[in-house]
Structure formats: structure tokens, C-alpha cells
Structure 1
Amino acid sequence: MQCQQAAAGTAGRRPRAVAEECRTLYAEAADPEGFPPRVALPDEYSRALTASARTLEDWERRAGAWSARAGDDYRALAARAADQESRDALVRRAALGAAPLALVSGAWLQWLSSPGNGDSELTMRTLALYAQDLGAGHPGADRGSAYRALLHHLRLAERAAPATRLTQDPQVSDLAFALPGPLLAMSRRPDEHRAELVGADLCLRAAGLLPPLALVRELLPAAADWTALDPGAARRADTPTGLALARAAAAALPAGSPDAPGLIAGFRWALDLLQRWSSGLYEEVSAALDPAHDMAELLRLRAREAALYHQEFKVAGRPLGDWFAEARTAPHGLLRALAASRLVRPGSPERSPLLRGLISENGPMFRIFSPADEAVIRRWIRSLPAGAVAVADRGGQATDVPVPVTAMDTAVETTMDTDTVTVTVTVTDPDPNPAPSPDTTRPLPAPAAVRAPAARRDRSPGTLREAYHLLLSRGDTPALRRYATGYVHGWLARSRVGWDTAGHLPPHHWDPRGLRPWLQEQHDRHGREFEQGAGAPVPSREALVDATVQLAPLTLIDGSWLQGFTDYGHASSDVGHLLFSTYWDELGNGDLGLNHPLIYREVLREMGVELPPTASREFAQWPGFREESFELPVYWLCIGRLPRTFLPEVLGLNVAMELSGVGGGYRRARIGLEAYGFSTRFVDIHNTIDNVATGHSAWAADAVDAYMATVPSVLGPGCEPGIWERVRTGYRSLNPPGGRRARRAARHATRAYENRRPYGNKGEVH
């Protein structure tokens, strides 16, 4: 699929197609396990940089100044609203027009971290910014949820959860998806768009509160948490602003790197689309001051269905069904005919048969219109001069009102391809003083070329080492996805072998009172086992170093089994916020000094071992690693990509991982490290942050309990045993049996998945 914005005048193109495609893209890109099409920004944005002396700071100032002026223009509309109905209409248009972007505020940063770059400064800076957007540590505290609360307050939230449902709302124009659609798709391909995403994010922070929301705040100052809705603001008084964090992220991008030009290119692209969207929405909002405009739009939206039912009833000598058929593209003829008909008493909605009879509770059209629709009809009838037929006009000329056309509509085209979405717009400097209503008839020159990313070779990894290397990034292909899913199926099948004789698993049945009591029991057991083995000799220095080295492929990707929970929809959910908080903690909460992979590398250096960068091919091929040292890491990397498919297993694995060393294992490791003079910081940190009272182990148990509590209502009563068995399987998958029978079961399960044959035991994922 390719959606390309180009010249409006090119023959054979549909001018609204790009916005329609971006609407689809918005929904497709929300799937954390999907394959969104590629998005290519035009080369002109990058090429123009050489001719521009503006710095990033200059562009920030331009974005902020434009946003302030545009916000003033929107606020001025409030003064033109003559009554409460008009003010309500303005608020409705502005709030719905901003919804696709505001409901995913910050989501474009969701995949910029990966197991391979978790120790980089850029990752830490962007993850710190993203964590603030999410209100990390609290469910439903993300900026998008704050906007959803505003929509609830306005009673406009029918299709606001999840945000992808907005694509089904005819009140939200295609234009509203032109920026967030490509941004979300780019977020799913961060290796191709890292710099552009950082630049686009900085633009949105510099712009601050979206201009149309200035109108909403003007009319309803107490309706929302306006600080949360401003991506450039801080979430709390004692934290950095979003803009400051975005600047830090941009500064972390190496100036001499090949991606550096993409920073300003992404900024300019986002500002261009932001201005076009705001100008187009301004037209829609200002048009809502005319009650006839909203009524015409209501007729257009209802026309298709209505055309089937009104052939017998005539208005102005024509069957009403014919009027409705025409109204699908030109509703104003029907609007004039209705105004002159016996159905309407101009100026008196309470006396009009349309409201008093046809759509009343005893009328033949009862419930055809929603309460909001009825408000539109009342407002229109009340606006009609008594004794006259009101005709909406522009420049004094009565006109039909076709499907609304915006500046973006005239600037776009589409062509179809297989896997690339090319979003291009005119490359002129954004006007620092744009008119509120731009010239929508001016054709725009087509870009000369676009920069399409090279296609990744689609083949399955041939070895564990190759799989490890490929899985370290967020990049994905169908073949790599099949490999990852098959590997997880095989690993879980292996984990179920010898199930009845396995020890220390979670209880056979989930107790609605929660998992915490069992967690405490396991912690006590770890403590007893440590005390009983207190006199055991420490391993030799050589053995300790070797064990530390062999754990490096695992430990340097700490938290990778949770990488899928950076997804915006998961990261702030009742279950997922605990998993995101754990992931964020593993990487140091934005502090490189607390970053677990970096701390582990410090221990290795003390041992005289200097490893290549984790994301490099040289790391995976380093001869000092044994092949089996990649088995569990590859499982972590595979299951971390599938947060929805294997959610119960991830929850169980997370409990096992966070509990595994607390109270015993970390204390034993500390004795060994201390005996040879090595730093114990890594194990000390884990023994505290993984604690069973307030640490990662406790969060892991709480996430399981939160999930299990929803199973009856979401999946249906009686599903709990099967889901709980999957959680227990995930728990055992941290340390599955390794015998011949177990490995045979793994191979069989993997082949069965690859061949798409039904297989598996109770609780298996098919």
C-alpha cells in the first residue's frame, strides 16, 4: 500500500486518498504484532537543509510562535459564538479534530528502545521522555488517557477507547489522521526513522498544546488537565518539562552520524503537516459557527441509509429518497427544501413537525438521530429567520456544500504498492504567519523523489547466534516473526515436559486472594536454602569469570522479555503499567549510572573481558561464548516481541525472573564476587529492587493478579484454569528441563507451528 501526497493537479489522482490511507494506517500501526507499511519522508526535506541556515533552536522558536498565533485564532472563534449551542458546536469540532493526535500523545516514541540499544544515551533520553508521557508507574496516567477524560467530560468518548476506534467515527475527518497515522507507522520501524521521530517529537513539544485545544480551554477552563494535554509541559512541578526532555533526546543524537540530518527533516515535516492540519481544522471549526453547515453535514452522513426508506414521502415535489441520494455529495439542496417544507417552522424547533412528530418517541423516525444530532437540528431550525428560507452562502452566493474540502485535500494523491507508504508534502518553509483559512485551490508541486528504505531480506535465521543478532532490534519481517513464534512454541512445549514432577511452581489453582502469599513463601524458602548452603566453598576465580561471561548474552539484554510492553496501549494499562515500570527500572530509569547492562559490563571489565557492542554482529559471533549461552536469551527476545499472543506466559516468566535471585541467588553471587575483589553492585541492586514487598517481584505478582481478575469478564467464566496453566508454563519456562524428551517435544512443537498443524496440550496457544 502506498499513499503519496503530491500535486493536486496530476491527472487520474483522487485528492482525498492520502488522508483516507492515513486513516487506515492509524489503525494498522496500533497493532504491536502487526506489519505496518513503510513510510518514507520526501528527500526534499533533507536536501533543503543545505540551503537553510536555521538551527534546531530556530525551528523550535518558529513552531512555538506559530502555535501561539494559531491558538489565538482559535480562541477568537469563541468570541464569535453567539449562544451556548454555537459554543458547544465549536468545542465538539475542535475536540474531535484533535483526538487522533492527542489520544496517542507520545506514542511515536514507543519502540525507540530495544534490547540492542538499551545502554545508549539516546535510548535513555527518549525513554525518560516517554516514561513521563505515560505517567510511568500508574495505570491510565498517560497523556492520551488525560485527553480521553476530556472527551468523556464532553460526552464525545463513544469511540475513544481504544484510540483506533476513532477511525470508525464519521465525525472525525480523514485530515485528522494525516500526521498521527504516519507517525505511528514510523514508530513501528524505529531503525529506519529514529532521527526523524526524535525531530518530529521535538516539533510537537515546541508547539505545545495543540492550537484547537486553546479554543476548548478558553470555553471550558476546568474541563481537563491541561498540563497533561500539553506535550511540552512537565507532568509535575518537580520534574523537567517535556520540551526539556525532548531537547536532551535530540542532543543525544550524535552530530556526525548519518542519521543526524533526519532530525531537522523530521521536525520540518511534522511542522508542515501540523500547520496544514490545524489550518484545515480551523476551516471545519469556523464553519460550525453557521448552524446550516452542521445540519448539512448531518444530512450528508445520514444520506446513504436514508435514501432507502423515503421514496413515498415528497419534499418540494421530489421523493425524499432522491433528495437523500443527492445529499451524499451535495446536501444543501435538501437543506433548502427542508427549510421551506411543512416539516420545519423557521425559528421554532419546538413547533416543527420534524422534531415534534417524526423523530419524537412516538414518531416513525424515533431513535434515528442521537441526542447530539437532535441538538444540531434544533440549532439549525432556531437559526432560520421566521417567514423566510435561510440559505447558507459564501460571498453572497447560494451554493451547495459538497464533502468538506481542506488544504490537505487539495495537496494529496495516492498510488498503490505492496509495502510502502510514502507521505510527502510540498517542501516550502512553513509560513511563519499562516492565514487561518489558506487557499484551498492552489495546486502544489509534486516532489521530485522520495527516500524509500531498503527492503530487509526476508529469511529465517540459520543459527542461534544469527537469531540473537537479528532479534536485538525492533526490525521485523514475516520470516523472523515465524521464527520467533515457532521458537516460543517449542520452548513452552519443552517447559511442560515432566510437569507433574516439577517443583516449586506457582499453586495449581489461582487464588482470587492473590499471589503474594505464595511469593512470600518462596522468598522464605530462598532464605532457608541460602542459610543451609552458607558453608559451601566459592567457585574458583576461573569458574566465576566463565559463568559471568556466559551470562552476558542474557544479562546485557535485561528486561527484554518485557520489550513488548513499551507499546502505548500496553504500557499504561492496568496490567502493562507494572511491566513497563519493571522494564524502565532495568534500564536505570533514565540514569546511565543505574543502567543494568552498563553495570554488568563494568564487572566484566574488572575481570579483564571487553565485549563488542551488544547490537553488533561481532558480539553474537564472539568466540568466547558457548552456543548454549544463546538459548534462553533468544527465548526472551522472541517472546518479548509477542506481548499479546503470549501474555499469560510473559506474566509467568516475569514472576520467575524477578523472584529467581531474591533472598538467595544474589546473596551467593555476592560472596563469590567479593571473594575475588570484584564489584558486587550488580547483584546488590537486583537483590533490593527485586524484593517481594515493594520491588519487581511484588509488581510481577500484582500484574498476574490484575490479569487473572479480568479473565472471567474478558474471556468468559470457566477460562481461568486454562489461562492459569499458561501462566505456570511461563513461570517454568525460565528454567525448563533439558533432557532428550524435552528437546524432542520442543522440536515437534516448532515443526507443528511451522506446518500450521493443530498440536499441543491443555493451555497451549494455537
Structure 2
Amino acid sequence: MNAHTGFPLPDLTTSLPRAAFRFSPKAAEEATAVLDAAPADIFRQLLDDQESETTLLVARRALHAFLPTADAEAGTDAATDAATDADAIAARVRQARTALEPALAGLRERGSETYRLVLRQRAPLMLLAGCWLDNVSQTATQPSVIVNRLFGQYFFLQGEGTPERGLLARRWRALIELGVHLPEIETVDFLKEAEARPLTALHASFHLALSRLPASFLPEVVGVHYAVNALGIDDLLLGTDTPFLAEAEARAVLAEYLGLTESSPTGARDRQRMTAAIELVLRLEREHTALLGELADWHDGLSLDAKVGRIVARHAPYAGRQHRSVRLGDRRLSDWLDDENMDLAAFVGQFREARQMKPAREGVCRFLRSIKFGGPMFGIFDEHEAAVFTQWAQAIAAGEPADLDFRPNTAGDGQALAWAQALRGSDPADTVLADAPSGLDDRQLFHRVVNIEQFPHILGAARDRAEANLTDAELLFAHGSGGTLTDAEYFDYTPEALMARVDAIYWDKLVDPYQPLTEIPDRDTVIFEQSTFALGSLIDGTWAQRIGNLGRNHRQSDHMLFSIYADEMGRGDLDKNHITLIHQVLASMDIHLPHIRQDEFLEQGDLPDGLYGFSIHQVCLALFPDTLYNEILGYNLGIEMFGLGAMRLHEIQKLRRHNLDAGYEQAHLSIDNFSAGHARQSADIIVSYLDGVRRNSGEEAVQREWRRIWRGYASFAYFVEHKLVGQVLAAQPAAAPAAPAADDAGLLI
């Protein structure tokens, strides 16, 4: 045993130690290009690419721009003392809410067209729906008390496994009921359809940036979570009577965090960081409320000619080539509409005088006839746009003079420019540029992938490691039926074939072979065997920890897999959290390990070196929830079924004989049950996913996707079935890949 004191429970962490963030020079070049681009491009980078170090560097630089206090020296005692009372903070936020409430109520009273425009503008922020909590629960942070409290509220915001009951779905329904129809937030044209101003995109980028680095910015996550929910700007704007997450619930987490900081060695600094984040939210919400007011005033001040100009601008990119024979003034209509710098006022002025707008004998101009049913332009303009054209034609016919003094929409542009400059000039001192080191041993690689926020430059190596393991595991496609606890032999997919294979594994490999042990190993042997399982248990659930993130949680299989991860983390209940359970088991054996994120874990001597490969594979899979999604589904099936049957029952028997904690084993035997638990759910997840593939892309695509899923399952079996892998490799030519290292019992977990 080592001399270190280990990692005590409960985990009272209030922030992780500050450390350098390591990025490759290539990522630095790419991040600079992103931050030099338009605000919408920053938003899209942070939302769309959740697997690259470039995104993490954009996030780090964004947080430095928005949260300079997080990188500054500690402030005065007075500044930190002000943040020790949750009620005082609540009063401060309530005061800000009261000050903003009249402006937001006034926006609800605007005309319906203006109100819908305001709601569309707010939608990119409204539909982020707590994204800053997406990754707060991860291998580097569990089982922190505050992380579990935050995760419990995150699970609630997500609809507790049923997204239709969650906050995001509630807001979508509210927008639709108010006549605002937008594409999903992850679609490429979302910001365009929302007509998002630069300031809106930049504010949304801050929240997304925080969601990418929550372990490193835990105090800020706490502050933002409380402030956004307590202010309730979106509820005020929508006129929602009851907030989805009550302020009292959010305040309880805030108060608990402040209590934890009282005994934390970094408590004063953490309180200051949290308070600075709250103040930033207040500032941003004031800025955005002002933007919405400017936008509403601008829209209400538009002349009828200017409203027509807005409609023309919206459709011009798609219309030019359809009108080559039509002339407007001294130019062809197609030339007008193809001009990226079209003078809208000049166009509308010419359009007013065009013969298409002259009233016919029946009183309706040619243009209005063309957009009605049966006309050549029917269906191009929506009901609202058609109504504007009708009103405009009537005004022209009545002889109303033109008003071509079009005022540009500059809502929020002053503040947006300031934030954009701050982003471009952001250069955090803790950012180190260096290519990933080569030749890392498994302990070093494990430390880096667990602490991926500090080591983003290792992502390429992590991806290569995952792919290599998956490729090696395919050898079991032809030999997997010989496994003791798994059967990774390949078969063509049908739902029935999958369920037949799963049933066979359950009965033939896991349940029927079970016989109670007649001889129990001695205590030291049992403890050693448990130590060979422990490293895998300490990262329980890791493979699915990024599945519920905003922008990628849209399939039924995503929701189902996220629910499994939530179960592994106890749904926010620390006593049911599986990471807590395994620490309790180890403590009963007098094994006291540092946290796996800590530098001290690199030197621990209780867990054998040969076990790291299996855990590295899990974490590496987790880092690529989009490009290795199929493989994660297959791996999930393997590991959830592994919780059943003879092996688990034997471990419980041995632990109980020596009065050791069997809580972790018992929890899995129950929650992974084959009737309705994780094992059955894991098969159902695959069927659900492939059913969507079949409906969208056909049977051939199903088999391609299935092969990737099954190699994910095989990658689990590859580490578990060490003896089988060794036998297969021994029978192959010398160039075959090396078998994974194993513990003395011949089983990796």
C-alpha cells in the first residue's frame, strides 16, 4: 500500500487546481481564424465541433475575454466577503430582475410582428437551456458533492430521461404557440432564420464556451447556473407564470456551494470567481434586454417600403436567375437580385414604379395576382409577407408617397464590437502551445485523457488509440464465440438476430454457468482481485458522459443512453452514485486512492499497471460521441451485460464472506437486470438507432452502421476475454497485434 492519504469522501471539491491548457500550434492557428471570423462562425464552431482541440481553445480564449476575473489575481477581502451569503446574492439578482422586468413586459406588449421578431432574436439564448451543465459531470469531476447537485438539476432540466418534458421542449412549444417557427438549434441556418444579431451570437458563444470547459471553471458554472435561472429573462419575455426550475432550488445549490467554500483552501478565490460570473450574467442580460428594445424600436419605426425591402432581401439570394427576362428600371431584375450589395431603397423605389405594381381594371396589380394560388410566384412568400405586399400595393394605389429612408438594423452592434475585439485580443497566460508528446506510457496517457480540458493536444493520440483498439478487436468477429463471458462473433443484423444473440449470451455465458463458490479465497486474494477491477469501476459511465450535450441529443437512442449515464451517476443522488460506491468498497479494503484526476494518481501503487489499457479505451471512446457514436452503442451493450450473472454473484459472495463492502456489485446486479434494466435497454438502444437508419437510408446502410456497432461490442470483449485473445493471436503470424495486458486472474476490467 502507498503512504498517501487517498481521496476522502464526500468529495468537497469547489474547484480543480489551476493548471496550464496545452494546445498544438495548429489548433492555435485555427482558433485565431475562428475568432477573427463573424460571431455566427464562433457560435457554430463551439456548437458543431465537440471533438476538437480547436473548439476547446476557442472556448478558453472566449472565457478569458468574458471572464478576466477568472485569470486575475485574487481581489480584496471585501470583494470576496460579499459573496459568502446566498440570500445577499439572491437579493442582488432579484434587484436586477426587478429593474429589467418593465422593459421585458413592454416587449410583450408590442405588436405581434415585432414581438415575434424579438422572440426569434432571443431564441439562440433561450434554447441553450442550461448547456453550461452539459459536461459538468465527467471523470475529472465525479463524485464531487457540488457536481452531483448540479447534475441532479441538469437531469431535471433534460426532462429526467424524457426530453419532451424538459425545459428545451417547453420553450420550443412556447415559441411555436406564439407563432415563432425555427429549425433545430444545431442546423446550419438556425442563426440566419433567427436573424441573430452579432451580440446575440457572442452572448450565446460565452455559454457554449463555458459548457466546453466546466471542470476548469466550476465556480463560474455555479454562478452562471444560479444567475440565469434566478433572473429568468426568458420566462419574463415569454410571460411564463411558473419557472421550470424554481429560484429556491437554484439558490439551494448556490448556498451549498458557498458552504463548501468555507472549508476549502481555495474558497475565497472560488467565491470571487463565482461572484464575477454572476455579475457577468447580469451585465450580459442587461445588454441583451437593451438589444431587444433597440430591435423592437427599429422594427416599429420601419416604413412600409422598408418592410418590403426586408422581404426582398430575405428572398433575393434564391430569386435572381428566375427573372432574367424581367426588367426593373434600366436593369434586368436578375441583375438587381444577384447583387450582394443591392441598394434596397433604390430597388424598392423602382419596384413601386414598375408596371407589375400598377392596379389592373379588376383592382389587383399583376404582382399580387402572381403570388396568389395559381400564379407563377405562389408559395414563395408566407402569409405574413403576402399581407405586407398587399398593404403596400394598396398604399401605392392610394397615392401614398414613398419613404425610402431605410434605417439599418444596428441593434447591439456597439457592445458586439467591444466583445469581438476582446475575443480577438484574448491571450490567456495559462495557454501553452506544444505538440502532444510521443512515447507516453499508459499511466501518463490515462492522466491526460481524464484531464482532457488541460491536455486538448492529446485528442489526436486519443482518437488513434481508440481506432487501433477497435481495429484489433475485429479479430473476435471470427473467433468471439469462444469467449467465457461474451460472444463477439459477427452476424448480420436484424432486430431478432440481435435479441437472440443477447439472450444467448445472457443465459449461456452469464447465468446458466453459475454455481455458488464452495471455496472462498482468502481476504488478501479477494482484495487483490477487486483491485484489478477498480480502475474500470472508477470511470463507471464514462463512455456515455457526453451523449446528452446540446446540439447532438436529438435521437431516441441519445435520450435512452443519456438516461443510463444518469443512472450510473445516481441521477444527482450522491449515495447512489457509482463512483461513490466504488470508493466505499475500496475504503472497506483499506485501499485509499487519490482521485484519478490528481497528479498523485500517477504514482499510486495499489492498482496494477496492466489494467490501464481498458480504461484508456473507455475514456477515448467518450471523447468522440459523434464520430464514434456507433462504437459507443456497442461498447455500452457489452459493459452493461457484464454486470450480470456468475462473475458478479461470485464477487458478492467473496466480499460478504470477508465482511467487505459489496454495494457496488449489488447495485450493478440490480440496475443492469436483463428484464428492464441497463442490459435490456442497451439492446433496445441499438434497435432504436438502427430503425432510424433503416427508415432514412435503407437496409444496406443499416448493415454498415451495424458493423461499427458490433466492433464497439467486440472492443469490450477484446479486453475482457484475455485468454481467448491470447490463443487467437498465438495462432496467427508474428506480425499480429499484441494482446492486452492482463491481471493474474486472466480477466481485464
Quickly name the TM-score band, shorter chain normalised: 0.7 to 0.9
Question: Which residue number corresponds to residue 591 of structure 1?
Answer: 573
The one-letter code matched in structure 2 to 1:466 is Q
Instruction: Give me the whole-angstrom Cα distance separating, in 1, the residues matched to 2:104 and 2:521.
Output: 71
Conserved 8 A contact 1:26-1:185: no
Give the structure 2 partner of residue 753 of structure 1: none
Aligned 8 A contact 1:312 1:319 in 2: yes
Corresponding letter in the other structure for 1:124: N
Say which SS state the counterpart of residue 546 (structure 2) adopts. Answer: helix
Is the deviation greater in 464-473 or in 124-133?
A: 124-133
Q: CA deviation at 1:159?
A: 2.5
Following superposition, the deviation at residue 513 of structure 1 comes to 4.7
Partner of 2:494: 511
Tell me if structure 2 keeps the 8 A contact 1:135–1:142. Answer: yes
- 2:636 aligns with 654
Q: Deviations over 1:201-233 (max 9, x none)?
A: 22211111426733xx4xxx8xxxx75xx4644
Structure 1's 749 and 487: CA in aligned 2 closer, same or farther, altered over 3 A? farther
- Cα deviation, 1:631-653, whole Å, max 9, x if unaligned, reads 10111111111122222221111
Give the drift of 1:691: 0.8
Q: 1:518 to 1:741 in 2, by over 3 A?
A: closer
Aligned positions of 1:526-675 closer than 5 A: 528-531=511-514, 533-571=515-553, 573-675=555-657
Amino acid of the structure 2 residue aligned with 1:486: D
Shift of 1:575: 0.6
Cα 1:327–1:170, aligned 2, differ >3 Å: closer, same or farther? farther
Displacement of 1:542? 1.5
Opposite residue 184 of structure 1, the aligned amino acid is L
107-116 vs 254-263, which moves further:
254-263
Q: Indicate the SS of the match to 2:556.
A: coil
SS for the counterpart of 1:178 is helix
Matched, 1:22 2:34: no
Matched, 1:391 2:399: no
Query: 1:385-405: per-residue Cα shift (whole Å, max 9, x none)?
Result: 93322537xxxxxx3322x11
Q: Which residue of 2 aligns with 1:269?
A: 280
Select 1:106's aligned residue among 121, 126, 130.
Answer: 130
Deviation of 1:660 after TM superposition, in Å, equals: 0.9
CA positional deviation for 1:383: 6.8
Other structure's SS at 2:524 match: helix
Tell me if 1:32 matches 2:31: no
Q: Is the 8 A contact 1:139 1:574 kept in 2?
A: no
Q: Name the CA shift for 1:457/1:109 in 2 (closer, same or farther; >3 Å).
A: farther
- The answer to whether the 8 A contact 2:535-2:611 is kept is yes
* Alpha-carbon separation, structure 1, partners of 2:691 and 2:220: 41
**C-alpha distance after superposition, 1:252-271 (max 9, x if no partner):** 56561644422122222222
What secondary structure sits across from 1:554 in the alignment? Answer: helix
Higher helix proportion (structure 1 or 2): 2
Partner of 2:436: 459
Distance in 2 (alpha carbons) for counterparts of 1:662 and 1:351: 79
Distance 1:722 1:80 in 2: 53
The amino acid across from 1:369 in the alignment is F
| Kept in 1: contact 2:132–2:211 (CA 8 A) | yes
Task: Tell me if structure 2 keeps the 8 A contact 1:527–1:664.
Answer: yes
TM alignment of 1:612-761, pairs within 5 A: 612-736=594-718, 737=722, 738-739=725-726, 742=729
User: What one-letter code is carried by the residue in structure 2 that aligns with 1:458?
Assistant: D
User: Within 1, Cα distance between the matches of 2:443 and 2:494?
Assistant: 41
- Between the aligned partners of 1:322 and 1:710, the Cα distance in structure 2 is 44
**Once the 2 structures are TM-superposed, how far is the Cα of residue 182 of structure 1 from its aligned partner?**
2.3
CA-to-aligned-CA distance 1:144-164 (integer Å, 9 cap, x gap):
233333444456435235355
Segments of 5+ residues of structure 1 without an aligned counterpart are 1-16, 82-86, 235-239, 393-398, 425-448, 751-766
Give the C-alpha shift of residue 615 in structure 1: 1.0
CA distance in structure 2 between the partners assigned to 1:580 and 1:80 by the alignment: 40
Moved more, 563-572 or 549-558: 563-572
Change over 3 Å in CA distance of 1:733–1:410 after alignment to 2: closer
Given the alignment, which residue of 447, 456, 459 partners 1:469?
Answer: 447
Q: Is the 8 A contact 2:198 2:412 kept in 1?
A: no
What displacement does 1:585 show?
A: 1.5
Residue number in structure 2 paired with 1:10? none
Q: What does residue 158 of structure 2 align with?
A: 134
CA distance in 2, matches of 1:146, 1:745: 59
Contact 1:611-1:619 at 8 Å conserved across structures: yes
**In the alignment, structure 1 residue 331 sits paired with structure 2 residue 318:** no
Q: Is the 1:336–1:389 Cα contact (8 Å) retained in structure 2?
A: no
Q: Which residue of 2 aligns with 1:439?
A: none
Q: TM-score by structure 2 length?
A: 0.79
SS for the counterpart of 2:124 is helix
CA distance, structure 1, for counterparts of residue 417 and residue 377 of structure 2:
39
CA–CA separation in structure 2 for the residues paired with 1:310 and 1:95: 34
Letter in 1 for 2:412: A
Matches within 5 A, 1:80-479: 81=111, 87=112, 89-153=113-177, 156-160=180-184, 162=186, 164-169=188-193, 171-210=195-234, 213-214=237-238, 217=239, 230=243, 232-233=245-246, 241-242=249-250, 244-245=252-253, 248=256, 254=264, 256=267, 258-289=269-300, 290=302, 292=304, 293-302=306-315, 328=341, 331-335=344-348, 338-339=351-352, 343-344=356-357, 351-353=363-365, 355-360=367-372, 365-381=377-393, 386-389=398-401, 391=403, 399-402=405-408, 404-409=409-414, 412-413=417-418, 422=423, 451=428, 453-455=430-432, 457-460=434-437, 462-475=440-453, 479=457
The aligned runs of 1:23-62 (5 Å cut-off) are 23-30=40-47, 31-34=49-52, 35-36=54-55, 37=58, 38=60, 39=62, 40-42=64-66, 45=69, 50=76, 55=83, 57-62=87-92
Query: Could you tell which deviates more after superposition, 650-659 or 470-479?
Result: 470-479
Shift of residue 126 of structure 1? 1.9
Q: Name the Cα RMSD after superposition.
A: 3.9
In structure 2, what is the equivalent of residue 431 of structure 1? none
Amino acid at match of 1:657: I
- Give the alignment of 1:64-75 within 5 angstroms: 64-75=94-105
Report if aligned partners of 1:283, 1:406 keep a CA contact under 8 Å in 2. Answer: yes
Separation (CA, whole Å) in 2 of partners of 1:520 and 1:496: 22
Residue 489 of structure 1 is aligned with which of 452, 467, 478?
A: 467
Distance 1:478 1:109, change over 3 A: closer
Find the residue that maps to 1:455 and give its secondary structure.
strand
Provide the rounded CA distance (Å) in 2 between the counterparts of 1:69 and 1:555.
Answer: 50
For residues 178 and 531 of structure 2, the distance between their equivalents in structure 1, rounded to whole angstroms, comes to 58
User: CA contact under 8 A between 1:291 and 1:383: conserved in structure 2?
Assistant: no
Q: 1:575-624: CA deviations, max 9, x gaps?
A: 11222111121122212222222222222222122111221122132123
CA drift at 1:495: 1.6
Match of 1:8?
A: none
Give the letter aligned to residue 72 of structure 1: P
Q: CA deviation at 1:335?
A: 4.1
Q: How far apart are the structure 2 equivalents of 1:65 and 1:19?
A: 37
How far apart are the structure 2 equivalents of 1:170 and 1:527? 53
Residue ranges of structure 2 left out of the alignment (5+ in a row): 1-33, 739-749
Q: Which string of whole-angstrom CA distances, capped at 9 and with x for unpartnered residues, describes residues 20-56 of structure 1?
A: 7331122111232133113123566567964758546
Which range moved further: 309-318 or 592-601?
309-318
Equivalents in 1 of 2:554, 2:317: separation in Å?
Answer: 39
Report the counterpart of residue 11 of structure 1 in structure 2: none
- Indicate the SS of the match to 1:534: coil
Equivalent AA in structure 2 for residue 482 of structure 1: G
Aligned to 2:506: 523
Aligned to 1:761: none
Distance change >3 Å, CA 742–CA 491, structure 1 → 2: farther
Question: TM-score, normalised on structure 1?
Answer: 0.78
1:98 counterpart letter in structure 2: R
